[in-house]
Chains A and B, each alone.
Chain A
Amino acid sequence: MTKSKAKPKPKAETAKPGAVPKPDAARILLQELMSTPAEPPGAKRSWRRRAGRVVLVPALAVLSGLILGGVLIALTSQEVWQAFQVSVLQGIGSSFAVVFRAYAALFAGAFGNPVQMVVALQSGDPLAVRRAFNPILESMVAATPYIFAGLSVALAFRGGLFNIGAEGQIFVGAITATYVGYALVGLPMIVHLPLALAAGALGGALWGFIPGWLKARTGAHEVINTIMMNYIAFRLSDWLLTGPMMRPDSFNPVSPTIQTSAMLPRFFADPIRFHLGFFVALLVAYLVYWFLFRTTWGFNLRTAGSNPNAARYAGIKTGRWIFLTMSLAGALAGLAGTNEVLGVNHNLAMAFSSGYGFDSIALALLGRSHPLGVVLASLFFGTLRSGARRMQVVSGIPIDIISVIQAMILAFMAAPAIIRTIYRLRQPAEAGEEVLVRGWGG
């Protein structure tokens, strides 16, 4: 990787003369989050206001999504309907109670019950302690594949491409990682685990490369091709799991369990599934950040994405960047599948990845296609998902409510004008809303 310091960083240069290093670093980050050029030196305080603006729309989108989810919960609750038959006031009170109970269960499911934690710590029983702290760690487990998949879509967005095929890439990555995981026997972990991770990334990269290459060569739109590749991946895994990769002693379509040397190590004993993958995800997120904003390659990728004509004029081979971007995005998504296999499931089953592909688009948008944003958005969605499991048990509200909330958040993120209208925010002065991708033809 060429780490040339000179070319792509007007921002770093403005940062250097600054006396205090720390806030400047934050400022650079924010500028990148907004993906707008560095400000003139006169506007000194405005980055703080900008920070507010960067966070404001996503925060309000999340809030509105949760409110709408609450409305849906109240509307579909029989308790609320019965209360409304008594009186309107009681109905309203009951709806608040129902929604509050549901979200409390969600919160408890996502972070754990503080009372239970204290009791467990006092009792000193290790199993009880682990059980009490499991929810928050489980949320992080749930967030890990989201981070990878969200990074995949975000990276593609930065390259001006729409990777709607994360789902298929996740599958293929999981297939290759599983194969390496169980077929290679007798390797030490220090070799086997990285090998399995690399195999997963490579599998995903292949699945991203094909649509990218087709786009670069023939102009076929990557959205259609990645959707097609998704279904090809599903069929492929169906075939592999009922044929060549099926566990010999089983009638179910499940692959053999991977070798222990390929498993991502877990940090705690049994009920806690928290594993190394989370930190790998954070590391990869940092690497993606570094790659996108600190290397010439990343600069080229972003230029090819944001303005292909200018990029071509500047001598960047946009065609090559198209398939490189898609391959990298595919590799990241492949790691999401790999992580699930090596860290959580330890084998490959049919339809193990449910909906990560679409969710990752929501993540990338919520995180404004910035690695840090994606990590935060993933943590949020992972928390939501893992909390919803408990909510389903306690309040009987199906976990699918999370998808509805996610869709709403995504809608608000995609059309910030709605949020601005609802909350009467001012239109940002610079019209630099991120234009993501062009139509089918482009």
Chain B
Amino acid sequence: MTATAASSRAIAVPRTRQFVMGSLFVVLGLVLWFGFGAGMEAGQTTTFGLTPGGVATTLPDWVLSTRPSLLILALVCIFLGAVELVRGFGRMTNLALGLVAGFFVFGFLVWAAAGTSTNLGGLLNSSLDKAVPITLAALSGVLCERAGVVNIAIEGMMLMGAMMGSLIGSIAQNSMAGLVGALMAGGALGLFHGWLSIKYKTNQIVSGTVINIFALGMTSFISALFLQRQQELNHPPIFPTFAIPLLSKIPVIGPIAFLNNPFVYAMFVLLIVIHTALFFTRWGLRHRSVGEHPKAADTLGINVFRTRYVAVVLSGMMAGFAGAYYTLGSVGRFDEVMTAGRGFIGLAAMIFGNWTPFGAFGASLLFGFADALSSKLAILGIAIPSQFLLMTPYIATMVVLAGVVGRSQMPAADGVPYEKE
């Protein structure tokens, strides 16, 4: 009885989803056609600069005729929507959604920059920059939650990492020392989270809240007492930008991704390492099994508590690293509440990316792009308030979580304290 109910639901859900997605694609296509494309004059062009900052030689500007490009994009979207409605993409639906979203955003840019030029390279560059801390925060969440511990304290850990990174980096006048300090600070908070939520089985959200309040208070306290009064304590040397030899010569993508801050490279490496470790090693299998079914894992001789402790400490260190990006990577000083909710966006990116490293990275790029675009809109003179663009990450996450578009699959034992019998 339950089996049939479950299977009938399993069929029913994709149907509605197929319908919703198909309609969405078509609607987006129609918006591109009527909202953006139809109003354009015939001869108008859009110019995209392909010059990310910091490089002299570049590609020539990319000139598009606005109206035809928009209409083509619209047609492609409508076509994809029709296919989805009639046949359905099945497993490829998310890919199709990504494509349509990409086309739509591109079309929006083409429309917004009609008659003028906009620097696409710069936009992508700043999107990546803004995505870095979000990705790192999301990775922190992935590490923790895959082992079944909810971590909403990423924000607090980031703040602490940023503050300690700046403080220790300034005292030692060495950015590497600062980084180690940031990792230790984040790891210590992670350990505290583990101590409360694993040993004392405190509700993990309460424990995360404790850390958030604590970190916010502590960093502001130290900052007001020392960092602001003695500027030499808040002036760490930052990691210099360096170019990866061959890769940075690739047009457009090269300067964006491979002529950058070491944090960006570290992010790529960590993405690959964590993805491999989680899904292709024995360690990862154990790690995930603790998050999915701790009792079964325990029965098979995996130490659930130790695995979870390792997870929270690693997660804390990752968040500390994300915080260090601010003080040792980009800004070069600590300001109170400087992470400004990036930890929570990271949490959103993790959910949006379905608790996988690369999914989280994709979501972070998207969120970073929304952030970068919002500051661009004012320059282009578009009447959409930037705040609405800045809302999109949160709304998108809620939509994904509600299962309207896509399905989020969290680890089964996420947030459940483990009781050994």
Assembled-state Cα–Cα distance A415/B207 (Å)? 9
Q: Is A408 positioned at the interface, with any CB of B under 8 Å from its CB?
A: yes
Assembled-state Cα–Cα distance A242/B387 (Å)? 10
A441 touches B412 (CB 8 A): yes
B217 touches A400 (CB 8 A): yes
Q: What residues of B have a CB within 8 angstroms of the CB of A235 in the complex?
A: 387-388, 390-391
Q: Is A268 positioned at the interface, with any CB of B under 8 Å from its CB?
A: no
B410 touches A436 (CB 8 A): no
Can you list, as one digit per residue, whether each of A415-428 has a CB less than 8 Å from chain B (1) or not (0)? Answer: 10110000000000
Assembled-state Cα–Cα distance A228/B341 (Å)? 10
The 9 A-B residue pairs with the shortest CB-CB distance in the complex, in nearest-first order: A403-B217, A439-B415, A407-B214, A415-B200, A398-B224, A239-B387, A400-B220, A228-B394, A407-B213
Find B221's partner among A355, A404, A408 (CB 8 Å cutoff): A404
Q: Is A346 positioned at the interface, with any CB of B under 8 Å from its CB?
A: no
Find B196's partner among A227, A401, A415 (CB 8 Å cutoff): A415
Which of A50-58, A175-183, A357-365 contacts its partner? Answer: A357-365
Q: Is B21 positioned at the interface, with any CB of A under 8 Å from its CB?
A: no
Find A228's partner among B196, B395, B403 (CB 8 Å cutoff): B395
Q: What residues of B have a CB within 8 angstroms of the CB of A221 in the complex?
A: 401
Q: What residues of B have a CB within 8 angstroms of the CB of A267 in the complex?
A: none
Q: What residues of A have a CB within 8 angstroms of the CB of B205 in the complex?
A: 162, 164, 223, 437
Can you list, as one digit per residue, whether each of B205-232 has a CB less than 8 Å from chain A (1) or not (0)? Answer: 1110111111011101110111000000
Find A437's partner among B203, B207, B217 (CB 8 Å cutoff): B203
In residues 347-384 of chain B, which contact A (Cβ within 8 Å)?
Answer: 347-348, 351
- 18 further interface pairs, Cβ-Cβ under 8 Å (given A76-B221, A439-B416, A441-B416): A218-B403, A225-B398, A229-B394, A231-B341, A231-B394, A235-B391, A400-B217, A404-B217, A406-B217, A407-B211, A410-B213, A411-B214, A415-B202, A436-B206, A437-B203, A440-B410, A440-B414, A441-B414
Asked whether A404 and B218 contact (CB < 8 A) given A232-B394, A437-B205, the answer is yes
Q: Is B14 positioned at the interface, with any CB of A under 8 Å from its CB?
A: no
> Which A residues form the contact surface with B (CB < 8 A)?
72, 76, 162, 164, 214, 217-218, 220-221, 223-225, 227-232, 234-236, 238-239, 242-243, 355, 358-359, 361-362, 365, 396-398, 400-408, 410-411, 414-415, 417-418, 436-441
Residue from B210, B221, B390 with most neighbouring chain A CB atoms (10 Å): B210
Find A220's partner among B196, B212, B344, B398 (CB 8 Å cutoff): B398
Asked whether A231 and B387 contact (CB < 8 A) given A224-B397, A441-B415, the answer is no
Q: Is B413 positioned at the interface, with any CB of A under 8 Å from its CB?
A: yes
Asked whether A417 and B200 contact (CB < 8 A) given A225-B398, A358-B209, A441-B415, the answer is yes
Assembled-state Cα–Cα distance A191/B104 (Å)? 49
Asked whether A407 and B415 contact (CB < 8 A) given A238-B387, A414-B210, A415-B202, the answer is no
Assembled-state Cα–Cα distance A355/B415 (Å)? 24
Smallest CB–CB gap between A116 and chain B, Å?
27
The closest CB in chain B to the CB of A413 belongs to B206
Smallest CB–CB gap between A217 and chain B, Å?
8
Smallest CB–CB gap between A357 and chain B, Å?
10
Q: Is B102 positioned at the interface, with any CB of A under 8 Å from its CB?
A: no
Smallest CB–CB gap between A408 and chain B, Å?
7
> Which B residues form the contact surface with A (CB < 8 A)?
150, 152, 196, 200, 202-207, 209-214, 216-218, 220-222, 224-226, 341, 344-345, 347-348, 351, 385, 387-388, 390-391, 394-395, 397-398, 401-403, 410, 412-416
B401 touches A224 (CB 8 A): yes
Assembled-state Cα–Cα distance A359/B221 (Å)? 17
Find A223's partner among B152, B196, B222 (CB 8 Å cutoff): B152
Smallest CB–CB gap between B382 and chain A, Å?
14
Smallest CB–CB gap between B82 and chain A, Å?
28
B225 touches A398 (CB 8 A): yes
Interchain Cβ contacts under 8 Å between A and B, 9 examples = A220-B398, A224-B398, A238-B387, A239-B388, A361-B206, A404-B214, A411-B210, A414-B196, A441-B414
B217 touches A411 (CB 8 A): no
Q: What residues of A have a CB within 8 angstroms of the CB of B390 in the complex?
A: 235
Assembled-state Cα–Cα distance A83/B276 (Å)? 54
Q: What residues of A have a CB within 8 angstroms of the CB of B196 in the complex?
A: 411, 414-415
Find B344's partner among A227, A242, A414 (CB 8 Å cutoff): A227
Q: What residues of A have a CB within 8 angstroms of the CB of B225 in the complex?
A: 76, 396-398
Assembled-state Cα–Cα distance A302/B206 (Å)? 20
Asked whether A403 and B214 contact (CB < 8 A) given A411-B196, A418-B200, A440-B410, the answer is yes
Q: What residues of B have a CB within 8 angstroms of the CB of A228 in the complex?
A: 348, 394-395, 397-398
B210 touches A398 (CB 8 A): no
Assembled-state Cα–Cα distance A338/B126 (Å)? 39
Smallest CB–CB gap between B157 and chain A, Å?
13
Q: What residues of A have a CB within 8 angstroms of the CB of B214 in the complex?
A: 403-404, 407-408, 411
Smallest CB–CB gap between B54 and chain A, Å?
31
